[in-house]
Amino acid sequence: MGPARVPRLTLVLLVCAALTACAGNPPAGAPQPDPPSSGPSVGEATPSSRTGARDDPQPPKAGPTTRAPEASVWRVGARPLPLRPDGFGRVLPTPAALRDRRLPTTDRLPPPPGGRFRSTVRPIGPAVRARMGDTWKPGCPVDLADLRYVTVSFRGFDGRTHTGELVVHERVAAGMGSVFARLYRARFPIEEMRLVTGADLKAHPTGDGNNTAAFVCRAARKQTRWSAHAYGLAVDVNPFQNPYRRGDLVLPELAGAYLDRDRRRPGMVRPGDVVTAAFADIGWTWGGTWRSPRDLMHFSATGG
């Protein structure tokens, strides 16, 4: 997951969606992934459908938000955290409203017609590029022309179908369709899936982000090596239900209740489940098998 302050991915990076086969390892000296960071929900775009769609999705008008009881109790991104000396938010106990998190999804793109799974792959056009902001800039280890804008259908914790968006390397773009089609058929719930934007990189940590996301050009924390996310070769799934931990750092910072993997709750990734199997079948590895850090949200084509 995952410069000096971590983006909001995987949750930024707080952060990982078959392709013409799985991507190979990045060039020698490629960076290792670093901790994600949590932030508010930002970034909107309109959909692209298979037929008659614009080549480059445009920002949408405000749409309806599906609400559940929890929505009136907890507003994501509304409560900034005090900062630690390392720039992350202070790790605090999980609020009661988020201990069994099942928040509804805001539709930033139109849901799939008829509730059927849909997937599209497109080059990065001007509108998507503008929304990405500083998540890509000259000097990043992958050219913008080698990235793809991918949309996939997913099921929310609200029981409804939604359309999500990711930016990944063109070599793995088709693989995202196969992975998320399996999750869709298995009714695995995902809360949010939107681009990481420049606003995420500047946002103050709130510790409650839960964005399933992929590309962001950043170095591994306190290193000069690039994260797998900087190549478009990593995806973070439901970061809040599947947090990152290294020592006393937990990301998202309010997700500590989900470190207890014996208490099963929807959206958690578990050994041998449909999520780990779907990524394994395209040759990706899971950060949940690592000892330190333990990165339960993180899947990558590079093994890092």
Q: pLDDT digit string (tens) for 117-134? A: 999 999 999 999 999 999
Higher pLDDT, residue 156 or 32: 156
Amino acid, single-letter form, for residue 132:
M
Is residue 62 scored above 90 in pLDDT?
no
Note whether 250 and 25 are within 8 A (CB): no
pLDDT of the residue at 281: 98
Q: What is the mean pLDDT of residues 157-182?
A: 98
CA dihedral of residues 71, 197, 82, 3 (deg, nearest 10): 150
Which stretch of 37-41, 180-184, 300-304 has the lowest confidence by average pLDDT? 37-41
User: Mean pLDDT across the chain, nearest whole number?
Assistant: 82
Mean pLDDT of 208-227: 82
Q: Is the pLDDT of residue 31 over 70?
A: no
Rounded mean pLDDT, 246-258: 97
What is the average per-residue pLDDT within 176-182?
98
pLDDT of residue 223 exceeding 90, the answer is no
E-assigned strands of the chain?
8-9, 11-12, 119-123, 147-155, 161-169, 234-236, 244-246, 249-251, 285-286, 294-295, 298-300
Write down the pLDDT at residue 120.
Answer: 98
**pTM of the shown model:** 0.78
Share of the chain above pLDDT 70, in %: 74
Residues 6+ positions from 256 with CB-CB distance below 8 Å: 91, 92, 93, 94, 243, 250
With a cut of 50, say whether residue 72 has pLDDT above it.
yes
Average confidence (pLDDT) over 226-236:
95
Binning pLDDT at 50, 70 and 90, where does residue 303 land? Answer: confident
Residues 6+ apart with CB under 8 A from 135: 7, 195, 196, 197, 198, 200, 201, 215, 216, 217
